[in-house]
């Protein structure tokens, strides 16, 4: 069984994330959308809220599983039997960063392969950090979020 993990903070999940996952479905038997928990990072939304959003967005797709994990992503992949990491690339900077991480994950994760999907042009400008800035600034982030997503007031 070909299992891929799509890791992220999903703080919040964006339409760019959704498109990467949906495009990966024909490639893999199962895609685990996994929220990585980093105790050093300050999140805008709670883990529970982010997991609920992922369930809302992907809950009706039988090939998608929602999870959370702590520690190294490569170790989590090994633990659940995933042979692939799924990553989206928006630009050359993403590639440079992700290439290094994928090489380290291949060693730490015992031959864990990273599969890169290049963002479609309509989504290449969207990032969670930019969306968070729009939200913090009181702007309308809805063009960058899944239609079903309802953000709580900050």
Q: In CATH, what number is assigned to the domain containing residue 78?
A: 3.40.50.620
Q: How confident is the model at residue 58 (pLDDT cuts 50, 70, 90)?
A: very high
Number of domains in the chain: 1
Note down the domain range covering 131. Answer: 3-144
From the candidates 41, 42, 150, 153, give the one annotated as an active-site residue. 41
E strands along 47-138, which residues?
64-70, 84-89, 113-118
Query: Annotated catalytic, 128?
Result: yes
CB 109, CB 78: distance < 8 Å: yes
Q: How confident is the model at residue 44 (pLDDT cuts 50, 70, 90)?
A: very high
5: nearest Cα among 70, 90, 66: 66
Region 27-52 average pLDDT: 94
- Asked if residue 153 belongs to a domain, the reply is no
- Asked if residue 151 belongs to a domain, the reply is no
Tell me the C-alpha to C-alpha distance, in Å, between residue 91 and each of 8, 55, 111, 117, 127. 17, 28, 25, 11, 11
From the candidates 90, 124, 127, 132, give the one annotated as an active-site residue. 90
- Asked if residue 125 belongs to a domain, the reply is yes
Query: Annotated catalytic, 75?
Result: no
Query: Annotated catalytic, 110?
Result: no
pTM for the full model? 0.93
What confidence score (pLDDT) does residue 152 get?
72
Q: How confident is the model at residue 55 (pLDDT cuts 50, 70, 90)?
A: very high
């Amino acid at each position: 069984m070909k299992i891929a993990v799509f890791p992220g903070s999903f703080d919040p999940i964006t339409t760019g994330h959704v498109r990467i996952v949906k495009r990966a479905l024909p490639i893999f038997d199962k895609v685990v959308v996994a929220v990585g928990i980093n105790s050093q990072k300050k999140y805008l939304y709670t883990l529970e809220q982010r997991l609920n959003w992922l369930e809302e967005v992907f809950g009706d797709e039988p090939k998608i599983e929602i999870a959370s994990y702590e520690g190294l992503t490569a170790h989590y992949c090994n633990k659940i039997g995933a042979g692939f990491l799924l990553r989206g690339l928006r630009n050359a900077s993403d590639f440079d960063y992700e290439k290094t991480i994928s090489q380290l994950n291949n060693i730490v994760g015992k031959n864990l392969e990273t599969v890169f999907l290049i963002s479609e042009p309509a989504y290449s400008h969207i990032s969670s950090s930019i969306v968070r800035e729009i939200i913090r600034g009181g702007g309308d982030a809805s063009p960058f979020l899944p239609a079903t997503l309802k953000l709580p007031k900050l």
